Amino acid sequence: MASNTPNLGLLKKDPMTDGNETFNIETMLNENWDKIDTAVGQVREGLENVNVDIPDASLTEKGIVQLSSATNGTRENVAATEKAVKAAYDEALAGKQLGVEQKANVVAALNSIGVSASTSETWAQLVSKMAGVIRATGNANPADVLAGKTYSNASGNGLTGTMPNRGAGGTIIPSTINQILEMGFYTSPITILGDPNLVSGNIRTGVSLFGVVGSLIEGKRWAKGQFSVGSGRGSVGGLSFKPRTVIAAHDSYQYSGYQTLGGIYCEDIIAYIPGGSDVLNYIFSFTGGSYANNRGWLTPFSNGFYFDFARATTSLTGTMNYFAIE
pLDDT tens, position by position, 66-107: 888 888 888 888 888 888 888 788 787 777 777 677 888 888
Query: Mean of the per-residue pLDDT values for the chain?
Result: 77
Confidence band of 252 (pLDDT split at 50, 70, 90): low
| CB environment 195-211: b (16+ within 10 A), e (fewer) | eeeeeeeebeeeeeeee
Structural domain includes residue 49:
no
**Beta bridge pairs of residue 223:** 324
Q: Check whether residue 245 and residue 301 sit in a common domain.
A: yes
Q: Check whether residue 24 and residue 96 sit in a common domain.
A: no
| pTM > 0.75 | no
**How many alpha carbons fall within 13 Å on the CB side of residue 304?**
11
Confidence band of 239 (pLDDT split at 50, 70, 90): very high
Q: Which long-range contacts (CB under 8 A, 24 or more apart) does 277-286 make?
A: 283/312
Domain range enclosing 254: 222-325
Structural domain includes residue 265:
yes
Q: Check whether residue 230 and residue 305 sit in a common domain.
A: yes
Q: Check whether residue 113 and residue 18 sit in a common domain.
A: no
How does DSSP classify residue 83? Answer: H
- Decide if pLDDT at 39 tops 70: yes
Mean pLDDT of 167-183: 90
Any residues with CB less than 8 A from the CB of 180 and at least 6 apart, and which?
none
What is the Cα Rg of the chain in Å? 67
Mean pLDDT of 307-315: 64
Look at residue 269 in the predicted model and tell me its pLDDT: 58
Q: Check whether residue 89 and residue 32 sit in a common domain.
A: no
3-state secondary structure of 173: coil
Q: Check whether residue 144 and residue 102 sit in a common domain.
A: no
Q: Check whether residue 108 and residue 154 sit in a common domain.
A: no
Higher pLDDT, 85 or 163: 163
Look at residue 161 in the predicted model and tell me its pLDDT: 92
**Out of 17-31, 130-144, 312-326, least confident range:** 17-31
**Beta bridge pairs of residue 304:** 301
**Out of 145-159, 228-242, 253-267, least confident range:** 253-267
Any residues with CB less than 8 A from the CB of 207 and at least 6 apart, and which?
213, 214
**Beta bridge pairs of residue 44:** none
Look at residue 186 in the predicted model and tell me its pLDDT: 92
Q: Check whether residue 281 and residue 313 sit in a common domain.
A: yes
Structural domain includes residue 176:
no
Q: Check whether residue 292 and residue 239 sit in a common domain.
A: yes
Q: Tell me the C-alpha to C-alpha distance, in Å, between residue 171 and each of 81, 181, 190, 192.
A: 90, 11, 6, 6
User: What is the length of the chain?
Assistant: 326
Structural domain includes residue 70:
no
Structural domain includes residue 197:
no
Q: Check whether residue 159 and residue 227 sit in a common domain.
A: no
Structural domain includes residue 180:
no
- Decide if pLDDT at 204 tops 80: yes
Into how many domains does the chain fold? 4
Q: Check whether residue 106 and residue 145 sit in a common domain.
A: no
Higher pLDDT, 298 or 36: 36
